[in-house]
Amino acid sequence: MAPEQEQTLYTLPRKFSRVFIPKFFTLILLSAIFYSGILLNLSFLSLRRAAESQAKTFSLGIIIALVILGIAINFVKAKTPIIFLQTKLKFSKHKSVPYAKIDVVEAKQNISDKIFRTYHIKLDKKHTLEGIPKTSDPGQITTYINQLVASAKQSQMNYNSQSQYNQNQYNQSSYSQNSYGQQNQYPKQNY
């Protein structure tokens, strides 16, 4: 039996170049620094030429594999749109945040955003929607997210109050049944 799919309310595409290019260059720069560190460490060791050559080749192979993996992950992330569902905001295949857990919706623009004519929306400390094209009005998007957050928090409060009411009703009926049972269980004794 397949899980029930939520209805998509809105799909917001990301600007591919804004999400992919900065991460690509950061990955290449960090890989170069890491490989330089490996070369520096190997120069301090007294190894035979063959062993040193093997260590350099092996470390370069691992770094290239990690770079390719990082590029593939960033490529998929850059191609994935931001999807507004009924109960949550989904920004990758396995990453989403429920509207009720979003604290602050704030549109910001950093240096990379200015270069690529985009902006990003900060949802809370851990979640940021990045690479949103400038063609999408930041005010409209943040207002829309705020409305969804307010609606989710209101429905959660209604659910919690209904659950509390049901729990109180259950406790009262359990108490009255228990009181009745106690009267029958322990009859009054005359001495």
Each residue's pLDDT expressed in tens, for the chain with a length of 191 residues: 445 678 888 999 999 999 999 999 999 999 999 999 999 998 888 888 899 899 999 999 999 999 999 999 999 999 999 999 988 999 888 888 999 899 888 999 999 899 999 999 998 888 888 999 988 788 889 999 999 999 888 887 776 666 666 666 666 665 555 555 554 455 555 55
Contact status, residue 42 vs residue 52, Cβ threshold 8 Å: yes
In a domain, 154, yes or no: yes
Contact 58, 46 (CB under 8 A): no
Q: How far is CA 119 from the centre of its chain?
A: 18
The number of domains in the chain is 2
Answer with the one of 37, 54, 79 that is the final residue of a domain: 79
Q: What residue numbers bound the domain in which 43 lies?
A: 16-79
> Distance (Å, rounded) from C-alpha 71 to C-alpha 135?
26
Q: Are residues 61 and 108 in the same domain?
A: no
127 phi/psi in degrees, rounded to 5 = -120, 125
pTM for this predicted structure: 0.68
Among 60, 79, 98, which residue terminates a domain?
Answer: 79
Question: Residues 68, 100: one domain?
Answer: no
Q: Does residue 126 share a domain with residue 104?
A: yes
Query: Does one domain contain both 97 and 162?
Result: yes
Contacts within 8 Å (CB) and 24+ apart, 145-150: 145/84, 145/89, 145/99, 145/102, 145/105, 145/121, 146/105, 148/9, 148/84, 148/89, 148/99, 149/99, 149/100, 149/102, 149/105
The answer as to whether 183 is a domain residue is no
What the block records as the tokens of 51 is: 């062993």
Which of the listed residues 45, 79, 113 is the one where a domain comes to its end?
A: 79
- In which residue are the tokens 């890989």 written? 31
- The pLDDT, as a whole number, for residue 1 is 44
